Amino acid sequence: MKMMKNSLALATLTGAAALAGGVATADTGTVNATIDVITPVAIRAARALNFGKLTIPSDQDVTWTMVPTSPSLATLSSNGSDSVDVDTGDHEAGRFDVQAEAGQTISLTVSVVDFSAPGLSLTIDENTQMLPSGGSFDMASPLPFPSFEMPIAIGGELTVTTGATAGLNGGGDAATVTVTAAY
Partner 1 sequence: MKRKLLAVAGGALLAASLPNYAGVPGPSVSGNVDLEFGTVAADNDASGQLTIAAADGSKSESGTVYAFGGLTGVQAEYLVTGLTVGDTYLIQLPSSLDLVGGNSGHKITVDNLQSQPSTSFIATSDKATILVGGTASLAANQAGDTYSAPLSITVTPQTTN
Positions in the binding site for partner 1 (CB under 8 A)? 1, 4-5, 8, 11-12, 15-16, 18-40, 107-109, 111, 126, 135-136, 180, 182
Q: Which is nearer to partner 1, 1 or 143 (CB)?
A: 1
For residue 34, CA distances in Å to 37, 136, 165 come to 10, 21, 46
Q: Which is nearer to partner 1, 111 or 141 (CB)?
A: 111
Q: Which is nearer to partner 1, 36 or 59 (CB)?
A: 36
Q: Whole-number minimum distance, CB 156 to partner 1, in Å? A: 16
Q: Whole-number minimum distance, CB 32 to partner 1, in Å? A: 4
How far apart are the two ends of the chain, measured CA to CA in Å? 79
Q: Which is nearer to partner 1, 109 or 176 (CB)?
A: 109
Q: Whole-number minimum distance, CB 7 to partner 1, in Å? A: 9
For residue 152, CA distances in Å to 75, 84, 106, 107 come to 16, 29, 11, 12
Q: Whole-number minimum distance, CB 33 to partner 1, in Å? A: 4
Q: Is 13 in a helix, a strand, or coil?
A: helix
Which of the 8 DSSP states describes residue 56? P
β-strand partners of 86 = 54
Q: Whole-number minimum distance, CB 48 to partner 1, in Å? A: 21
Burial of 120: CB neighbours in 10 Å, binned 0-12, 13-18, 19+:
middle
Q: Which is nearer to partner 1, 30 or 169 (CB)?
A: 30
User: Chain-centre distance of CA 84, in angstroms?
Assistant: 29
